[in-house]
């Protein structure tokens, strides 16, 4: 099915609800999406256009045209047509297969069902049939079909909860709320069917966090912002149902606007090959010019002597014109120096490697039954040439699951204890976890191992009480009870969830909230606080505060936030406690924990009323509202009294440390993209070993403009100039790139020799051999080596990440290697021609007959060539499989089978004009001298390669050579590997602010719109798992250093 197209230019969008006829006037895009590149009509022209962008393909098409001209064609057209059609066909099949799966994915999405309000009743419609202006019903855990204006929901005041992981990777739930005028529509189908509001809004764009528009309905206008919009790709969570009006559909949705158009991607090897093919073509032209000039000279000086005895056309008597024709004739004859078959070999190998990726059991994730998936088969080798990795932090490096680990209250650390010798130890390693069984509402998944904190609570420590009270009151968490009566928290940020859960387990349980109150249970006693103000978090404030009135009538301001911000707001009397807490925060940061400072302030009733009146006045302003409100927040958040600090563990994903270390050893530069502040980003760097204590300097690059950042980078580069780079080597693309070099060699040594007969050229190899050489005789061994070969096994590849570097540096396939291969090919070609030529010169065979006839000479050269190429591939193969043996030796057997068949009586009887040399192969190969010549030619061609490789491995071995040698030795005796105990890293780095890095929902909480009127659908509680670290990193450092030292390498390994 073809999707409709939208109009080219759109300044603003006007959408009327429940009126398809009106909206169709604007030709808005429907909800059908397509990520595929082709359809049935466009596949052939577009795919051919893409394929003929490859220089080799374009060259062979040009060559085919030349071969259709009888005056210059020295070979029949099928010698070029067959390889070209095979290459084009196989590539087209692969591209069509890739695009078929894109179509399949598109169809799955387009055929999803949604309930759409049509003719005053809900009907199931496919997504692709949803139109702009339709009203759609969504149910819990359902994907959003299009960009919707939220009208109403099952929650009070038209609230709904969405997950935006498909858009921004964030798994935290976000809140959206409808306008009050539309939330009253509820689930009343008749009222929704009569809704005829008109939305005037921005044109389609890719800004996920912004939306501006106006809803006109019932003679009134209502402004719209991003909080009223649910975007395609989101999932409705914890909300039974909601209704929305389609604003943007299909390609106009913000998700699709960000996806971009599918582009035809080329790898760096493809680009290099195109360059090399151009050079080969230039070399071919130069050869053609030289030979054409030689032909003209020969025709002018010698050719006249033969024209009396030969039939010549008048035009051919001109030596210049004869040279011109000869030039094109040689271009055709020498066409096999251009490696067209290499392209199809690469495509097949890429396809094979993509299946290996999909089948790899070590890349299978059993917890979610998810295998690795290669979604394209054109970029596989790029995996072996990666220099930079850009990674998100939340949900990628970390599990986004926070655990309360330690805290500092009134200058005392909880979570550590004295071991009796004056040394602090980690409580989690010394004692059993605190038993929260006495608290029936505790979250049993959360563990805390310091019993002293429980003792302080039992003793009635007022500072501890106030500290826990802040955790239970200062947050945006929503509470609810599931069907089993269990208390469930819905959190905006996992950090908040960890802190509120910690307070809950320690006896200060957040129970519920309204727009005016917060109710907590303090050690079994329900206490309701009056919520007077909520000073919400944002990226500039980096703190959150609540102002409450306790049952005794006291007004308290409770605040938590980044220590670097909150410490500036403290009363001067906190100096001693500030020093202690700062030291504790440094200890927490050294353990990789995220920290928050906790403080409070007692407020005078009169002062608060005056301040609150100014706040109300500021909220009514239109201009500079945010600035005035921020100023009032700053005014009241001062002279705070410090209570302490919290330390939360942001768990790393399993295997992150090992992965990052291996990537660093492989000389891959890693950039982590995070919205955290600087301290947290540095802390995460230490936690996952991107940064280590033995690094001399960590440079902070900051700037507001590109010029400033560039200047900072320049300074950092100057400081780093003298530092040594980490030693690494490469493995992943070794087999792939070596394959390409071997293929180039094979293509080079098949360059045809031409005999000059009466001024015309004739190839040494017969036309069928030229046609079948690359597609039958040598293709399968190359494919087997490219798909199955490996220089070292997978375990050694992981143990020695330095093997990766040659791929990054293109050491295995580059222009220098290409010229070496060209030289090797030229030498082999000379040996293949002149050794048989010299051996057959004036020589009689075993039967006394002359063996120097043209066809016997051709059979000898062709047989030598096939054997030389097969032996060369065998020498290049490091990892033998049954398939390698079958393909290599089977190709040799196939050559002899076809050779004897083409020289048989039977084929001559069927095609007498095509196969006239009856019995020649049998006669030639029956003579001993022929086989001696073939043996001599093979040895002469292969021996220099064998000698060079022996000397290279013995005198100057590469890392892979040394590991291969070590690998063979390990098969006989595997030495045991010792592990060193893990040591704790200490650092002065300060951990950062632990809130979600987006605007909070304080205003929504104080409005009361998010208060539930009834129990929602059951939802799972906060999941918390423990991260068990290992001491493998020190062992890896030792093993790598020892290995490199044993190899006598002049480079150093630096983590």
The number of helices, as runs of H, and strands, as runs of E, in the chain is: 36, 30
Helix (H, G, I), strand (E, B) or coil at 790: coil
Report DSSP state, residue 250.
G
| Residue 55 CB neighbour total at 10 angstroms | 18
Q: Compute the distance between CA of residue 1023 and CA of residue 578 in angstroms, rounded to an integer.
A: 34
Sign (positive/negative) of CA torsion 659, 660, 664, 667? positive
Q: What is Dmax (Cα atoms) for the chain?
A: 129
Q: Which are the catalytic amino acids?
A: 392
263-281 as b/e: b if 16+ CB within 10 A: eeeebebbebbeebbeebb
Q: Show Cβ contacts of residue 130 under 8 Å, excluding neighbours closer than 6 positions.
A: 30, 31, 114, 116, 136, 145, 146, 246, 249
Q: Compute the distance between CA of residue 657 and CA of residue 1029 in angstroms, rounded to an integer.
A: 9
Q: E strands along 978-1027, which residues?
A: none
Angle at 538 between CA 535 and CA 544, to 5 degrees: 35
Q: How far is CA 916 from the centre of its chain?
A: 58
535-540, long-range: CB < 8 A, 24+ apart: 535/559, 535/633, 535/636, 535/637, 535/1002, 536/476, 536/999, 536/1000, 536/1001, 536/1002, 536/1003, 537/561, 537/995, 537/996, 537/999, 537/1000, 537/1002, 538/999, 538/1000, 539/675, 539/997, 539/998, 539/999, 540/630
| Residue 735 CB neighbour total at 10 angstroms | 24
Q: Compute the distance between CA of residue 600 and CA of residue 641 in angstroms, rounded to an integer.
A: 5
Q: Compute the distance between CA of residue 835 and CA of residue 936 in angstroms, rounded to an integer.
A: 8
For residue 531, what are its two tokens?
């919520």
Q: How far is CA 734 from the centre of its chain?
A: 21
Q: Show Cβ contacts of residue 439 under 8 Å, excluding neighbours closer than 6 positions.
A: 504, 505, 507, 509
Q: Compute the distance between CA of residue 863 and CA of residue 895 in angstroms, rounded to an integer.
A: 8
Whether the CB-CB separation of 106 and 1 falls below 8 Å is answered with no
Whether the CB-CB separation of 22 and 14 falls below 8 Å is answered with no
Instruction: Work out the burial of residue 704: count CB atoms within 10 Å of its CB; fewer than 13 is exposed, 13-18 middle, 19 or more buried.
Output: exposed
């Amino acid at each position: 099915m073809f999707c409709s197209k939208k109009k080219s230019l759109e300044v603003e969008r006007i959408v009327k609800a429940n009126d398809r006829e009106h909206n169709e006037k604007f030709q808005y895009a429907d909800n059908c999406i397509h990520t595929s590149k082709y359809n049935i009509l466009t596949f052939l022209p577009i795919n051919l256009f893409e394929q003929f962008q490859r220089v080799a393909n374009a060259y062979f098409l040009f060559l085919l045209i030349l071969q259709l001209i009888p005056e210059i064609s020295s070979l029949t057209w099928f010698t070029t047509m067959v390889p070209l059609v095979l290459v084009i066909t196989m590539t087209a099949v692969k591209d069509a297969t890739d695009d078929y799966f894109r179509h399949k994915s598109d169809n799955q999405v387009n055929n999803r069902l949604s309930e759409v309000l049509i003719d005053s009743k809900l009907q199931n419609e496919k997504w692709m049939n949803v139109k702009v202006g339709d009203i759609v019903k969504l149910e819990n855990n359902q994907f959003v079909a299009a960009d919707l204006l939220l009208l109403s929901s099952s929650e009070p005041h038209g609230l709904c909860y969405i997950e935006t992981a498909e858009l921004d990777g964030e798994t935290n739930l976000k809140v959206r709320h409808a306008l009050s005028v539309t939330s009253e529509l509820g689930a009343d189908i008749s009222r929704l069917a009569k809704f005829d509001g008109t939305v005037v809004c921005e044109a389609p764009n890719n800004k996920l966090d912004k939306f501006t528009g106006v809803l006109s309905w019932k003679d009134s206008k209502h402004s719209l912002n991003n909080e009223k919009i649910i975007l395609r790709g989101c999932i409705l969570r914890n909300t039974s149902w909601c209704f929305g009006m389609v604003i943007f559909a299909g390609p106009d949705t913000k998700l699709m606007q960000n996806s971009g158009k599918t582009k035809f991607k080329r790898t760096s090897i493809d680009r290099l090959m195109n360059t090399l093919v151009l050079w080969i073509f230039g070399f071919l032209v130069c050869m053609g010019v030289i030979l054409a000039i030689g032909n003209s000279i020969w025709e002018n000086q010698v050719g006249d002597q033969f024209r009396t005895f030969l039939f010549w056309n008048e035009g051919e008597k001109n030596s210049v014109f004869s040279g011109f024709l000869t030039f094109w004739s040689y271009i055709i004859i020498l066409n096999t120096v251009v490696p067209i078959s290499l392209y199809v070999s690469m495509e097949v190998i890429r396809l094979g490697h993509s299946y290996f990726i999909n089948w790899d059991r070590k890349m299978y994730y059993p917890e979610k039954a998810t295998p690795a998936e290669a979604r394209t088969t054109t970029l596989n080798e790029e995996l072996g040439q990666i220099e930079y990795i850009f990674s998100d932090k939340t949900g990628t490096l970390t599990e986004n699951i926070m655990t309360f680990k330690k805290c500092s209250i009134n200058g005392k650390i909880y979570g550590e204890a004295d071991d009796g010798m004056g040394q602090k130890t980690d409580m989690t390693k010394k004692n059993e976890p605190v038993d929260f069984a006495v608290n029936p509402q505790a979250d049993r998944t959360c563990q805390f191992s310091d019993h002293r904190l429980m003792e302080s609570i039992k003793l009635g420590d007022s500072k501890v009480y106030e500290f826990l009270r802040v955790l239970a009151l200062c947050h945006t968490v929503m509470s609810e009870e599931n069907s089993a009566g269990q208390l469930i928290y819905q959190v905006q940020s996992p950090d908040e969830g960890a802190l509120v859960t910690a307070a809950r387990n320690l006896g200060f349980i957040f129970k519920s909230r309204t727009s005016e109150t917060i109710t907590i249970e303090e050690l079994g006693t329900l206490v309701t606080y009056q919520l007077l103000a909520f000073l919400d978090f944002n990226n500039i404030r980096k703190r959150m505060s609540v102002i409450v009135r306790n049952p005794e009538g006291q007004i308290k301001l409770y605040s938590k936030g980044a220590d670097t911000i909150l410490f500036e707001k403290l009363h001067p009397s906190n100096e001693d406690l500030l020093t202690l807490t700062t030291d504790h925060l440094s200890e927490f940061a050294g353990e990789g924990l995220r920290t928050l400072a906790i403080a409070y302030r007692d407020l005078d009733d009169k002062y608060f009323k005056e301040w609150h009146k100014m706040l109300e006045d500021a909220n009514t302003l239109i201009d500079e509202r945010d600035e005035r409100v921020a100023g009032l927040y700053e005014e009241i958040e001062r002279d705070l009294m410090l209570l302490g600090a919290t330390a939360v563990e942001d768990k790393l994903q399993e295997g992150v440390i090992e992965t990052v270390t291996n990537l660093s050893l492989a000389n891959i530069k890693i950039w982590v993209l995070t919205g955290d502040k600087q301290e947290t980003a540095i802390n995460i760097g230490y936690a996952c070993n991107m940064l280590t204590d033995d690094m001399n300097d960590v440079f902070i690059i900051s700037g507001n403009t590109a010029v400033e950042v560039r200047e900072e980078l320049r300074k950092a580069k100057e400081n780093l100039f003298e530092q040594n780079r980490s030693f690494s080597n490469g493995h992943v693309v070794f087999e792939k790139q070596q394959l390409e070099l071997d293929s180039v060699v094979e293509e080079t040594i098949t360059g045809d020799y031409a005999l000059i007969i009466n001024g015309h050229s004739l190839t040494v190899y017969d036309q069928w051999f030229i046609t079948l050489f690359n597609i039958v005789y040598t293709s399968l061994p190359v494919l087997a080596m490219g798909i199955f070969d490996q220089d070292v096994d997978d375990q050694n590849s992981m143990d020695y990440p330095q093997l990766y570097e040659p791929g990054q540096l293109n050491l295995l396939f580059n222009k220098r290697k290409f010229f070496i291969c060209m030289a090797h090919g030229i030498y082999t070609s000379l040996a293949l021609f002149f050794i048989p030529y010299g051996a057959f010169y004036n020589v009689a065979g075993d039967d006394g007959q002359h063996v120097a006839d043209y066809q016997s000479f051709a059979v000898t050269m062709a047989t030598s060539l096939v054997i030389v190429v097969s032996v060369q591939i065998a020498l290049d193969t490091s990892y033998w499989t049954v398939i390698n043996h079958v393909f290599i030796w089977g190709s040799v057997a196939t050559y002899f089978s076809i050779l004897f068949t083409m020289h048989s009586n039977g084929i001559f009887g069927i095609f007498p004009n095509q196969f006239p040399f009856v019995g020649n192969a049998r006669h030639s190969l029956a003579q001993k001298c022929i086989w001696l010549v073939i043996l001599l030619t093979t040895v002469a061609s292969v021996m220099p390669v064998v000698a060079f490789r022996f000397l290279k491995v013995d005198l100057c071995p590469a890392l892979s050579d040394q590991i291969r040698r070590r690998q063979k030795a390990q098969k006989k005796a595997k030495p045991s590997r010792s592990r060193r105990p893990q040591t704790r890293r200490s650092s002065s780095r300060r951990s950062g602010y632990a809130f979600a890095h987006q605007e909070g929902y304080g205003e929504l909480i104080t409005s009361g719109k998010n208060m539930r009127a009834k129990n929602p659908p059951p939802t799972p509680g906060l999941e918390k798992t423990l991260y068990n670290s290992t001491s493998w990193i020190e062992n890896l450092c030792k093993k790598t250093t020892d290995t490199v030292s044993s190899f006598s390498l002049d480079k150093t390994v630096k983590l």
